[in-house]
Amino acid sequence: MQGGKRRVAYGVHGYGRGHAVRAQAVLPLLRERHDVLVLAGDEAADLLSADYRVHRLPTLRYVHDAASNCSAWLTLRRNVPLLADAMGCGRALRSVMGLLREFAPHVVISDSELFTHRAAWRMGIPRISFDHYGVLASCDVGLTGVDRVVCELESLAYRLLVNRPHRSVATAFFSARPLRRGVRIVPPVLREIVRRTRPSDGSHLLVYLSNAHVHFTPTLRRALAELDADVRVYGPAEATREGRLEIKPLSVDGFVQDLASCRAVFATAGNQLIGEAIHFGKGMLLLPEQSLEQRLNARFVQQWGIGRQVSPGELSTELFREFLAGSAELAARVRAYQRDGLAEAVAAIEQAIGELSR
């Protein structure tokens, strides 16, 4: 292996775009040094396939009911066949094992992607977990009460599904204390396009909604349309304009430019989006999805005074007006928290690759 080059399989979970955005940041650097096989599901495959040959995987997803609430029953019913496949060596898992057998990776990196984790575990291939959930699964983040119990239960399920990886590199915009050896916490990794884009102070509100088909309700749409400000929305499938409300098609360049130049951000509470908003110095209004991970993210943003969290029932035109009126004060505090973890993350991954592929 000349120059220490290794074969690395990289699996990316396909629910939401945060996992793929993280991969967009590190894959160019990993490909400079190693041969990389990319496997991804759903939204991640769509986003990454523009730049890489991607082997598409099935994806576990949350399912919401008619009232837009996350339904445990509907989610379980939808995902049971995939869980049975992954745990019982079904057709999808055997397909992934076939790809890995042909590629013969020295290590597998997985960003919360179940099938690459399970296939590598069955085949005895060393695994590196590179995601945000590792902060909850492998670290002390100061949770108490019900949230601590929920975290313990979710972390137990996570470990049962993926087993314990040989190394874990977890990204987070906040600090956490690892609970075991082999775990590294790094700041959010920033894509090259984010790192080279200069922020500016525009007048528009940037809206990004994961699972927009659930969160972009008629009530929310009306509240934004009646706001006396330009609003640029990413997430809904259709691109359209309604007065000063513009729903824009998915575009990496367009989104980053709109994020860098916005007045403030209204979004679901994904770690990657928050990290990029902090990088550009933007105050945030966060609508966390019904997951402990996003509630924790939103809680830190609010505690730091760089944003606030809201529930769907609070959303109104008046709330958005109030938020925008105070957005400059929030933005002034954001600068103290700006960090770029790309170099640190790649160094941690490279160290793990070197240790596990000797």
Residue-wise pLDDT tens digits, 288-314:
988 899 999 999 999 999 999 999 999
pLDDT at 107: 98
Amino acid 197: pLDDT: 97
Q: In angstroms, rounded to a whole number, what is the distance separating the alpha carbons of residues 299 and 145?
A: 15
pLDDT digits (tens, 9 = 90+) for 239-264: 899 999 999 998 889 999 999 999 99
* Rounded (5°) CA angle 72-234-269: 50
Q: Write out the two tokens for 93.
A: 């898992």
Per-residue pLDDT for 3 more than 80? no
Domains delineated in the chain = 2-189+341-356 (3.40.50.2000), 193-337 (3.40.50.2000)
pLDDT at 7: 97
CB-based contact 121:9 (threshold 8 Å): no
For residue 1, what pLDDT is reported? Answer: 43
Q: What tens digit of pLDDT does each residue of 122-161 get?
A: 999 999 999 999 999 999 998 888 988 988 888 888 888 8
* Whole-prediction pTM: 0.90
Q: What is the pLDDT of residue 306?
A: 98
State residue 156's pLDDT score.
87
Q: What is the mean pLDDT of residues 165-169?
A: 96
Amino acid at 4: G
Positive/negative CA dihedral, 275, 12, 83, 117: negative
